Each structure stands twice: as structure tokens, then as C-alpha cells.
Structure 1
Amino acid sequence: MAFHDIRFPASLSFGSLGGPERRTEIVTLANGHEERNTPWAQARRRYDAGLGLRSLDDVEVLIAFFEARQGRLHAFRWKDWADYKTCPASKQVSPLDQHIGTGDGVTRAFALAKTYRSGDWDAVRMITKPVAGSVRVAVGGAELDESVGWALDTVTGIVTFEAPPPVGAEVTFGGEFDVPVRFDTDLVQVSVANFQAGDVPQVPVIEVRE
């Protein structure tokens, strides 16, 4: 399987249904108490690309994209309109949005990540598919000029500095990102009559772990 560095048409993913999925294993004991555990450190996202189709032209675009990916074979980028940037939906991206590390005077490479907080708890999600041109980086609270003294790998989500950030300096970033996904089916069935009547095909898409 290869990763095709191309985004599924954002106009079609806009109307899709989906979001994060967790896996929780629950054992109910004889006394009625539960033991709960999860084998997943991070959530896995699922979507239905069929719900974003509004015309037969959209269907044609979907089929062309599906054929070029050879069904489930090749992964691609997906814009999750409900969660595609490092700040709240109503805010503008800032280079101070997300903490990704602290300088130790040696480390030059830092992995992009987004932290989800609720109360005293949080969950960290690795960002491996940042959108080129959207990422802003800061060290010690001071934003760095774009690509000056640092470089971003948009395929892995790794920021590499020419010189290690100073000891104790907080490294932060902000930007937009895509989800690496693949089709979760090798079959797309479309009936023109049914589609015109409002019955759209189901086209499941699932996040891939890298």
C-alpha cells in the first residue's frame, strides 16, 4: 500500500458524516462492577464520503478518485471539516496554539501534535498530514519566519530546526491538517434513479495508522 499525497475534494467531504472512534473493552464482574480498558492510545476516525454528493457530476468525481486510488489500496488526505485546525473553529490559527516540546539544546526534530483537553484530562493526537503553507512555528513564544531556520515535512508532520531550540524554550505551532485515510470498501454502487430520488451511495472512509 502507498500513500497518495492528494486530498479528497474538500467540497465533497464538507457534507460527509464521521468523527473519532474509540475501542473500549468492558468486562462485567459477578458483583456488577465493570473493568474497562482500551488497546488504542489514539482514536481512529471514520467517515461516509457518499453523504457529500449533491449531483451526478459529484458522483463522477468520486468514482474517478476511487479508481485512481484503486479502491482500498492507496491512502490519501481527507479534510475533516469538524476538526481541521489547531485552534477552535471560530478562531484564527496562531503559532502558539499547540505545545509540541521543550528545547534541550540537542533535539532538532519535533513531531506535530494536537492536545484535546476537558477538565483535568487530556488526549494527545499526532498530526502527520499538515497542510503545506498553513503551519506557523514559534520558539520561546516568538514566531519564526516561514521556513527560515526550520523545515516541515508535510508527509510525516515533523518539524526540523537548523539549530536546536535553547534549553527550556517552549516549541509551539499552529496550522491546518488533514487526516490520512483510505476507502473502506472496494465497491461503489450508484443507481442514477435512486440518486436523483435522494438516495446517496454509502462510501465508507477510515483513518490509517502510520
Structure 2
Amino acid sequence: MGFHEIRFPANLSFGSVGGPERRTEIVMLANGFEERNTPWEHSRRRYDAGVGMRSLDDIAALIAFFEARRGQMFGFRWKDWSDYRSGRASQPVTAFDQEIAVGNGLRTEFQLIKTYRSGGQAYARPVQKPVQGTVLVALDRDEKVMGQEVTVDPRSGLITFETPPAKGAVIWAGFEFDVPVRFDTDRIQTSVASFQAGDVPNVPVVEVRV
């Protein structure tokens, strides 16, 4: 799949609407009960970037970005302003925001994840597009030196330790992250309302698997 490691202008995604989508198959039984199943292990997010357009300069930036991605052809990074940190949105990133895994004395590579909890249930979301320079990693309670003791691949979200973490050692991480997306249309329609203001009614964006 073609993917460009470039972020959609964050000032244009600010104010956009969207969020996670799930697919659930529901079968109504003869006795009135339901059977529910989902073919998706992970949710997928959709957004409308048109809401963030505020000026003709914004529209020009959107069109340039759209043309450079060849419409739906190439994916790109998207900042979801409602969910872009490993911890609470109101708090700065720390190395102890998320428990990533537990060492076994052999593995050196681990996938960044963000876990969503409610009641006794939890969902672990793979994070594959961390923002470079924001990732912090700790082993048990010892924060590691990025670039020396541990490295991160911003294209995949894999963290790699120089030496395998000991068996039973808890691996922690904190980070900011983007969502891998593509345009969900091959056409951008604009309507100029005045010389200094424009209107883009619908610019759909959808998350992609990478």
C-alpha cells in the first residue's frame, strides 16, 4: 500500500469531526434473542476535514495536499485532536502512560499500543504512527535513553531495545501519535463564498491498515 510519511496540516484538521467506527453483524433469532459478531479486531476511524477550512488559503493548502496524494491513492498521517496522546489529553506525555508488554528475556522488539479501559473490559489499539521525538520508554521504573538503550521506528511504532528486557520486566511507554488515513473521495468540490472565505462541505478521510 502506498503511504506518504507526511501529516495533513494540523491547523486544518483542528475542528474536524469524526471518531472510531466498528462493524457488528447482528442476527435476530426466532425467539427474539440476538447473536452478535464482529469481523473486525480493531476499530477504524473516519473524519471530515472540511469543517476545519476557514479561508481561501486553507482551501489552497487542502487542494495541494490532495493533489500530492493523488486523491485516494496514497495514505498519510492525520492528527486526531480528540485522541493523540498515550495518556490523558490534558496531561503531558510520560514514560509510564501505557504498559506495552512484559519481557521474556529474548524479545527485543515490541509494538506500541494504547489501551482503552471501561469497567472490566479493555481494548488494546496498535499505535503504528508515533510522532517522532515524543516517544518515552521505561523498563520497570527505569526510564531509558532514547536513541541509545532503545530506539523507535516512527513508520511502524516498533520499539527496539539494545538488549532483551529481563523476564518479567514491565515495558512502559508514552508518546504522541498520528492516525494512518487516506482520502475517502477522488473529488474535492469547493464553493467560494467571498474573496477571503471559502467553503468545503465534505472532505471525508478514513483510517487505513498499514
Correspondence for 1:13: 13
Secondary structure of the residue aligned to 2:173 is: strand
For each residue in 1:80-122, what CA deviation from the matched residue of structure 2 results, as whole angstroms up to 9, or x when unmatched? Answer: 0000010011112111111111111110000000000000000
Q: Which runs of 5+ in 2 are unaligned?
A: none
Aligned-pair identity in percent equals 60
Residue in 1 aligned with 2:54? 54
Matches of residues 52-201 of structure 1 in structure 2 within 5 Å?
Answer: 52-193=52-193, 199-201=199-201
Mean CA deviation greater in 59-68 or 191-200: 191-200
Question: For the residues of structure 2 that align with 1:128 and 1:160, how far apart are their CA atoms?
Answer: 14
Q: Which amino acid aligns with 1:190?
A: T
CA distance in 2: counterparts of 1:194 and 1:50, whole angstroms: 17
| Whole-angstrom distance in 1 between the partners of 2:39 and 2:82 | 25
Secondary structure, aligned partner of 1:99: strand
Question: What amino acid is aligned across from residue 207 of structure 2 in structure 1?
Answer: E
Contact in 2 for aligned 1:95/1:172 (Cα 8 Å): yes
Distance (Å, rounded) in 1 between the aligned partners of 2:45 and 2:68: 22
Normalised TM-score (structure 1):
0.96
Alignment check: 8 A CA contact 1:185 1:204 kept: yes
Q: Residues 55 and 198 of structure 2 are in contact (CA less than 8 Å); yes or no, is this contact kept in structure 1?
A: no
Asked whether the equivalents of residues 194 and 200 of structure 1 are also in contact (C-alpha less than 8 Å), the reply is no
Confirm or deny: 8 A CA contact 1:99 1:170 kept in the other structure. yes
Matched position secondary structure for 2:193: helix
Q: 1:26 matched to which residue of 2?
A: 26
Q: Which runs of 4+ in 1 moved over 2 A?
A: 193-201
SS in 2 for 1:57: helix
Partner secondary structure for residue 130 of structure 2: coil
Moved more, 147-156 or 65-74: 147-156
Q: 1:93 to 1:197 in 2, by over 3 A?
A: closer
Preserved contact between residue 80 and residue 179 of structure 1 (Cα < 8 Å): yes
